[in-house]
Structure 1
Amino acid sequence: MDAESFADRSLSQAFALGARTHASSWAAVSSQVRAGTQRLAQLHEQGLRFGEHLRAHGIGPGDIVAVQLPAWIEWMIAAVGIAHAGAVLLPVVSIYGAKELRFILAQSGAKLIVTPDRWRKADYAQTLAEVGRLPALATHVMIGDAAPGTVPWEAMLAPIAVGPAAPRSPDALALLVYTSGTTADPKGVKHSARTILSEIDAVAWSRRDLGAEVAFCPWPPGHVAGALQLMRFLVTGTPVVLMDQWEPGEAAMLVEKYRIVSSSFTPFHLSGLLDAAERDGRDLSSLRSCMVGAAPVPPTLITRCSAQGLKTYRCYGSSEHPTVTTGHPDDIMEKRLTTEGLPMRGTELDFVDDDGQRVPEGMEGELVVRGPELFLGYLDDSLNSAAFLPGGWFRTGDIGRLDQDGFLMITDRKKDVIIRGGENISSREVEDLLFAHPAIAEAAVVAAPDERMGEIVCAYVVPRPGASVDLESVRTHFAQAGIARQKTPERLIVVDDFPRNSTGKILKHELRAQARAQAGKEAA
């Protein structure tokens, strides 16, 4: 089946076909509270019942249903039921509190939400009470000990006559996912069945030579990477192992136990996995496709993986366009170290200047993309005019170019450019140099206000175990590398760890706020 016909269906049709074709395929969940394994056919049948109960609660085509669950089987059951009812799935990060939840539920107009009773430190009945009254939100379905006023999960799976799925266009809104909020308020990103299925198909095509694949998903399904991995199982039947909470030792054990073939990680996840495998003597040799992204990837991490026989490669994507480019395990080391890979099937790339005009071939510019998996637009329509160029090109906000072989090289984010005395400095370039410092394990670079220069380079670093680092050693390191003096950090802040979101991505906006606050204190 070609890519166009594969994506020319609703999610309910795609899920039904997946369940018929891959009935015995399985998903396994590693969890302290809801561990287990389930076959796709059984999961799908429960999802249809859930969908009929949604209808009984007044949910119909186009209605928004929020699912604030960890990576559990129940998340996928809910996804099937929401599609069956013709509703729109709104995944919510499971650790979000009242502030984030209030913004998302109010802006989206969600009519029903599914949560656990408690998970980790969260009490979801209390959280929803703190959110306050939302006129659109009528029903709270709760897994576990249902609080007063909520609908028990078991009631949503009770026997009920299952009718036909609600008709839904492949181009209608099917998934509303919010950006992770590393800058300002999160944005509601709209996807259709066509964009979702195009992504799933493109990923399957890029991994076509892996043979019998068992996938591992460390991503929370409140983020697009996790949601799409779980949907991939529902559509293609690719067996998947899930974790509801990241723990490196457990992850290394799961890779060995299930002979995991493919996974994607942030650098934070992958470094922890390697450390745990070395500590516990775990065998990671089955992991033949190991993608890493969502944050700057230290070349030393790729080299370390190669030394252990793991052919790690990089990728590039976003909530708006989930996978723009990807590397491949068989790419040469230089490409896996320095590039984000080649464009996915059907994806187009170009580069523009600040005025949206194409830059000469080979020159750096803002990356713009379009293709079958590109989102429909933001829920807040006021954001769309600045996000798109004529011709449907999406402005990523990332700076880069193609190398001579057509591989994507990302050099910076526009908002991560430090303007020191009128000169632009790439935070990515400075971070890459800091990664090479023998005493530094992790680094993040932001602009700090400076009365004389406007902005200066401020580096936050996590030292390697047992090592110490100071500004003088960093200056020496940069001087020995022959780097222009103005790119050398002028402020160094040593930390035990960084503020991160639930996928491990460093929250640079918090670091920027800290740098501004510190500069303000010094000025006073």
Structure 2
Amino acid sequence: MPAEARPGEPYPGPVLDLLAAAGDRTVFEHGARAVSGARMLGLVRRVAAGLRAAGLGPGDGVALRLGVTPEAFAAVIAGHVVGARVVGVRPGLPPAQLRHVLHQDVTAVVADDGTGTLALADLLATPDEGGRPQPSGRPGDVARLLYTSGSTGTPKACAQTYAAMSAAWTARPEAWPPAIRELASRLRRYLVFGSLSSQVMMEYGVLTLAAGGTMVVADPPAFPEAITGLGATASVITVPRLYQLVAAQRRRPADLSSLRALMVSGSPLAASRLREALDVLGPVVFHGYGQTETGTISMATPWDVPPSVGFPPDVVDVVVRGPDGRPVPPGVDGELYVRTPAQAAGYWNDPGRSAEVFVDGWVRTRDLGHFDADGRLYLTGRTRDVVIVNANLYYTGPIERVLAAAPGVAEAYVVAAPDEETGEAAHAFVVPAADRVPDLDALRELVGERLGGACVPATITVVDEVPVGPGGKPDKRLLLPAIPRPEDGPVRLA
């Protein structure tokens, strides 16, 4: 039965219908394994039955520590079938952050490597009773927690309810905006890699199902080899990887004739580099804009005018507000406030931060931008002091605090700058304590231990004092011209 024929049924009802409609068609390829829609639906039934047999149901927190496999995809959907609060655990979390995630009201941990309270293999061994699984999610319950990068020390968890997930258009072709409809036509073979706990990876996976395509595991996710070897038509790609792919194609062109769509998101994409990518790769680049808190806000197709991020769909409200909180006219920059059907309800167990970002039904993006006269959206800056490394957002404040508390350092300041390999990188400037010489290698090691490798500054510069603006306060923007070239390493700026 089509998804629209089940009014009021909670998520993942539409996904179950997509799998049932796929029947014998392959929906997931993992190496030599080809899993049909009917087979995937069976995997979902067994895992859901196993979760229920373990006493798990609506309102329970279920963390998933899983690889990128058909069974992992089935486990995500099964967690929603039983109405649980599904927590995807991103690989590579520092130990402290992993403990934080796994102790956020988590009832059970499902793993495929023996590290959980429930083994995925045991859940899959549950007898398959057949039929269509019956979703148990309650509209007001939190369906999933989507964790931010954790750059503040403890990752924030965006709490998305079952009502919000049910309102999302991803699994419902009749609700697709024009840019998504164009993208969906190109998702015949969509590469999946990294982690299915990634909001972007999973959402495009469901979109692929709805488009009649196949998810194909890329392991390792090397470009262009994964595209050529698997005949991929589409993939998510970060800005640095896009730059690297373009450079590789200029040096030694690979046969990318199968490629129809590269979905770029996570960090700024310069208009000149976008034009270069379109020139080298052809009309395949879709530049998306969204946040963990909101989901997709807008998407530029290969034919949109760079550097715009396209036209927000009709179901997404975007207002540009000036410093006084009032809307500003087209062409004037301001902070973007957004409402989407599937946005998060707030941050889990964090009312203070929730109140700062989720305001009267709107999400404060903390991004700056404007509309042109035709309604295209442009991004021009940020109100937040952040750096985006490999599509993950990190606040610079925690990096500054770690550096400033280290021996030999009196003050520390961190700025973000474009980086060819990571999109952006952190660059630090430290003022030494009296008669002390900071150990710059030790500073790097300390940041890595406390906050993770992505927060380690690409360069550390010793300065006698930080420049100040007209008001007499430190102005970090004045440090940007003083960033040394990465190959110069740590230097002292007198």
The TM-score, its normalising length taken from structure 2, stands at 0.73
Letter in 2 for 1:296: P
Counterparts in 2 of 1:205 and 1:217: CA distance versus 1, 3 Å: farther
CA contact (8 A) 1:71 1:243 kept: no
1:21 Cα deviation after fit:
1.4
| In structure 2, distance between residues paired with 1:490 and 1:442 | 18
Q: Is 2:359 aligned against 1:384?
A: no
Task: Say whether residues 1:398 and 2:367 are aligned partners.
Answer: yes
CA 59–417 in structure 1, closer or farther in 2 if over 3 Å, else same: closer
For residues 278 and 351 of structure 2, the distance between their equivalents in structure 1, rounded to whole angstroms, comes to: 45
Q: Does 1:229 align with 2:201?
A: no
Q: Deviations over 1:79-123 (max 9, x none)?
A: 23212222222111122243222111112x112212232xxxxxx
Q: 1:8 to 1:304 in 2, by over 3 A?
A: farther
Contact 1:266 1:294 in 2 (8 A): yes
CA distance in structure 2 between the aligned counterparts of 1:355 and 1:219, rounded to whole angstroms: 42
Identity fraction in percent? 25
Structure 2: segments with no counterpart, 5+ residues: 388-414, 433-456, 460-476
Asked if structure 2 preserves the Cα contact closer than 8 Å seen for 1:90 and 1:176, the reply is yes
Amino acid at match of 2:225: E
Deviations 1:38-69 (A, max 9, x none): 11210111110111111111111121111122
1:192-341 counterparts in 2 under 5 A? 192-197=161-166, 198-200=168-170, 201=172, 206-209=179-182, 211=185, 213-214=187-188, 215-218=190-193, 220-233=195-208, 237-254=212-229, 257-260=230-233, 262-277=234-249, 281-311=253-283, 312-331=285-304, 335=305, 337-341=306-310
CA distance in 2, matches of 1:21, 1:3: 10
For the 8 Å contact 1:49–1:159, the answer to whether it is kept is yes
Distance 1:90 1:294, change over 3 A: same
User: Which of residues 106, 124, 128 in structure 2 aligns to 1:156?
Assistant: 124
Structure 1 SS opposite 2:79: helix
**Superposed counterparts of 1:503-522, under 5 Å:** none
Give the structure 2 partner of residue 17 of structure 1: 17
* Partner SS, residue 110 of structure 1: coil
> Kindly tell me: are residues 2 and 166 of structure 1, through their superposed partners in 2, closer, same or farther at Cα, counting changes over 3 Å?
closer
Q: Write the distance in 1 (CA, Å) between the matches of 2:47 and 2:74.
A: 7
Q: Distance in 1 between matches of 2:2 and 2:338?
A: 22
Q: Which amino acid aligns with 1:140?
A: L
User: What pairs with 1:343-354 in structure 2 (closer than 5 Å)?
Assistant: 343-354=312-323
- Residue equivalent to 2:453: none
Aligned to 1:506: none
Query: What letter corresponds to residue 10 of structure 1 in structure 2?
Result: P
* Letter aligned with residue 110 of structure 2: V
Cα offset, 1:413, TM superposition:
1.7
SS in 2 for 1:400: strand
182 and 266 in structure 1: CA distance in 2 versus 1, 3 angstrom threshold: farther
Contact 1:64 1:90 in 2 (8 A): yes
Q: What is the aligned partner in structure 2 of residue 87 from structure 1? A: 84
Q: Following the alignment from structure 1 to structure 2, what is the Cα–Cα distance between the partners of residues 305 and 7?
A: 43
Task: Give 3-state SS (helix, strand or coil) of 2:111's partner.
Answer: strand
**1:91–1:41 CA distance, 2 compared to 1 (3 A):** same
**Do the aligned residues in 2 keep the contact of 1:291 with 1:313 (CA within 8 Å)?**
yes
Q: Does structure 2 retain, via aligned residues, the 8 Å contact 1:249–1:273?
A: yes
Counterparts in 2 of 1:52 and 1:280: CA distance versus 1, 3 Å? farther
SS in 1 for 2:101: helix
Judge conservation of contact 2:330–2:373 (CA < 8 Å) in 1: no
Tell me how far apart the structure 1 counterparts of residues 143 and 80 of structure 2 sit (CA, whole Å). 8
- In the TM superposition, what are the counterparts of 1:340-489 in structure 2 within 5 Å? 340-354=309-323, 356-379=325-348, 380-390=350-360, 392-416=361-385, 431=418, 444=425, 448=429, 489=480
Distance 1:277 1:45, change over 3 A: farther
Rounded to whole Å, the distance in 2 between the matches of 1:376 and 1:156 is 32
1:168: how far off? 2.7
Q: Given the two structures, how large is their TM-score scaled by the length of structure 1? A: 0.69
AA in 1 matched with 2:56:
I
Q: Which residue identity lines up with residue 492 of structure 1 in the other structure?
A: I
Q: How many residues align?
A: 421
Letter in 1 for 2:375: G
1:203-224 CA-to-partner distances (Å, cap 9, x unmatched) read 5753324646312334532221
Following superposition, the deviation at residue 443 of structure 1 comes to: 5.2
CA shift digits 1:451-509 (9 cap, x unpaired): 9xxxxxxxx879xxxxxxxxxxxxxxxxxxxxxxx768342244379xxxxxxxxxxxx
Pick closer, same or farther for the CA change 1:41–1:2 going to 2, 3 Å. Answer: closer
- Check whether the contact 2:270–2:307 (CA below 8 A) recurs between aligned residues: no
Alpha-carbon spacing, 1:91–1:216, altered in 2? closer, same or farther (3 Å): same
